[in-house]
A and B are shown apart, each in its own frame.
Chain A
């Protein structure tokens, strides 16, 4: 809406080029099975990235979501072992995530401290509390119905893919066509002007952390259920992958602009890297380095675009 679509086109182009290379180098990459595997693998990152997009749109950031994922995983696993039915487990996980998000949101709006500091703090506090309560022990022998959440299908498509598609569609609607979505962009572009226009800036800022927490809770259902055990340090580095997907997807790290489609493409690009490397016969140890490179490329790309846009803007002004 407020964004030029340039980033979407360029990621789409980059993805297309990558796929052509993969097609030429490794034909079996394009089996349907492999492709749906990839989508299942990126589903939980994409779901969390949509929440992260909301946070970053308002000019904030949350680096505590790795531990949120950890806590939700632990809570969900314990609930499931205690015999709680799966839909209720999902609800508990989402609620736990939302609660942790609310803590972050309230801290950020009450103390008016930048969220990178607040979530740096809560990251350690949450992790410490988790280790205290679990005593660092792993959770073993998860029930079968918990472990098969991600395996179920509906109309021949796996549940995680459905969840991802639904989250993307709802987010696209929320962000572009509701008053709340509009206020995210306004707060991120100019918080002072938004406040003076009667937008409840603290409410908006707290709400995005809750939304992100809830979505991380949902993502947990497609993340934790892939393992046979839950370790107390699970989810470390999750924030890195999610923020990478959002930034590569063209959301301005300072807030105010970005699209859901861009984030979806960004998540796909980040998620496909590992698989692509394997198929190209390159060591998977490069995965993280290459994801980092994507961030740098995205940032460089932005600064070049911005400079060009300023120039065009000047010309427009001069002409009027």
Chain B
């Protein structure tokens, strides 16, 4: 018998980047098939091809043995392929029932909505899922788990045969995750094929039948889950060898600069404590949603925290970004274009933004000093093209990042927090940023707290690595730890293991 879905030899490239190289993927009816890989491995691209958002350069897609073309999302839906994204596409101010039928409400004569038919169908779908949910409730009052559930119900009522779930549990609590798994098993027993994408490896072993691993656009393994273990998975996901990409000269760290004690923001992170010393790089790893970015935002005063302390050189750090900046803390934010650079302003104005108040000379901005600061960092960071009058928007991503970095270096920080400093930065610029980080800690004694999704990178750069999982600091790994160890902690596999032993 042919598989329900069979994708063969799928190729896709964007510009010069080959996102998918000859990838095969198939799924049977009543199967839960996990799709895993690091960020940028090609999972999203493959799913977007299946759901009609992208068209492949070459390769075939067969559904029940019939070759099909999926040119747009509407065709995908007609074929029974429905994708549920992490950020749901629902309307929090409408009722469950209205959400379920948004845009495809059954009509009666004179264009009136057929509420009776809607109700009947909704009840049938929820019965099939084995859950009870008040149809008239406002969705926004029900919480994220129900939103996920309503998305699934919506997909089923659209006669979904192949359901793609992209990081469905990212926003859910552990109770809700259990409920979702129950529903997944129910759907499986009813013959729905589910493609399950998750960074949380423990979930793969608990709910899926088969797993396919992508790395750098290639399929590097596809096995029955029963036949593999976590090491197999992690090795295939991480793949690369740790070479000497990361130039570090380790020195003995100096006095404590930043001390975080029992920092808690309810529902986001809990009792997080760590310290950062002069002349060391501390890595902070964890999956998206683990609370790692939220922690540094709270330290810098962007978000509030509920309890705990943040001390800078023994003194409490205030909870406002401008005061943090003045006391010598700098944060390079994750979202470069929205939080880092002011794209419409020239390189010069961006570089001096954090030191504006020190640039006074008799009431005027000291333009000479501004030019000298700008030139210094354009040189030190090799910003290309080296022109201070260009708006930042006209630079490439890597060079924009260098400008934002330059802005913070100009403020002479004691503590430098880098949230994904090399995201979207090309290999050359990446190496330059790494070298600069090493020089900052060694020559100037800066303490760097570095977040990166790229495990080999953060392991290569950091003196020690803190790992977060679901809002908790779960491990501190020394220099030389392997990406596999870090991944095991970050995905909660290890924690699961401990639970079993107990």
User: Which chain A residues have a beta carbon within 8 Å of chain B's beta carbons?
Assistant: 1-2, 173, 177-179, 182-183, 185-186, 189-190, 192-200, 256-257, 313, 316-317, 320
- Is the CB–CB distance between B321 and A196 below 8 Å? yes
Collect the chain A residues with CB atoms within 8 Å of residue B325's CB.
197-198
- Which residue of B is nearest A173, CB measured? B364
Query: Do the beta carbons of A182 and B322 come within 8 Å of each other?
Result: no
Residue of chain A at shortest CB distance from B332? A196
Interchain residue pairs with CB less than 8 A apart (7): A173-B364, A185-B349, A190-B341, A192-B338, A193-B353, A195-B322, A198-B353
Known pairs A190-B341, A193-B340, A195-B302. 16 more at Cβ < 8 A?
Answer: A1-B349, A2-B345, A177-B364, A178-B365, A183-B356, A186-B342, A186-B349, A189-B344, A195-B321, A195-B322, A196-B340, A197-B353, A197-B407, A199-B353, A256-B344, A320-B384
Q: Nearest chain-A residue to B340 (Cβ)?
A: A193
Measured CB to CB, the closest approach of chain A to B298, in angstroms, equals 13
- The answer, yes or no, to whether B360 is at the interface (CB within 8 Å) is yes
Contact count band on B: 35 or more
A72 to B269 alpha-carbon distance, docked (Å):
52
Residues of A within 8 A of B343 (CB): 189-190
**Selected contact of A257 from candidates B321, B324, B344, B354, CB within 8 Å:** B344
Closest B residue to A257 by beta carbon equals: B344
CB distance from A207 to the nearest CB of B (A): 14
6 nearest CB pairs, A to B = A198-B325, A179-B356, A197-B353, A198-B322, A190-B342, A189-B342
Closest approach, in angstroms, between the C-beta of B374 and any C-beta of chain A? 14
Which residues of chain A are near B342, meaning CB under 8 Å? 186, 189-190, 193-194
Distance between Cα atoms of A249 and B49 in the complex (Å): 48
B372: Cβ under 8 A from any A Cβ: no
Question: Which parts of B370-397 form the interface with A (CB within 8 Å)?
Answer: 384-385, 391, 393-396
A198 and B326 within 8 A (CB): yes
A182 touches B339 (CB 8 A): no
The minimal Cβ–Cβ distance linking B404 to chain A, given in whole angstroms, is: 9
A2 touches B349 (CB 8 A): yes
CB of A196 within 8 A of CB of B302, answer yes
Q: Is the CB of B349 within 8 A of A313?
A: no
Most buried by B among A2, A190, A313: A190
Residues in chain B near residue A190, CB distance under 8 A: 338, 341-344
**Bound complex: CA A196 to CA B303 (Å):** 11
State whether A185 touches B345 (Cβ < 8 A): yes
Interfacial chain B residues near A173, Cβ < 8 Å: 364
Q: Which of A185, A192, A198 has the most CB of B within 10 A?
A: A198
A199 B322 Cβ-Cβ under 8 A: yes
Q: Mark B396-424, 1 if CB is under 8 A from A, else 0.
A: 10000000000100010000000000000
**B300, B333, B342 interface centre (most CB from chain A within 10 Å):** B342
Given A2-B345, A197-B325, A199-B322 in contact, is the A177-B365 Cβ separation under 8 Å? yes
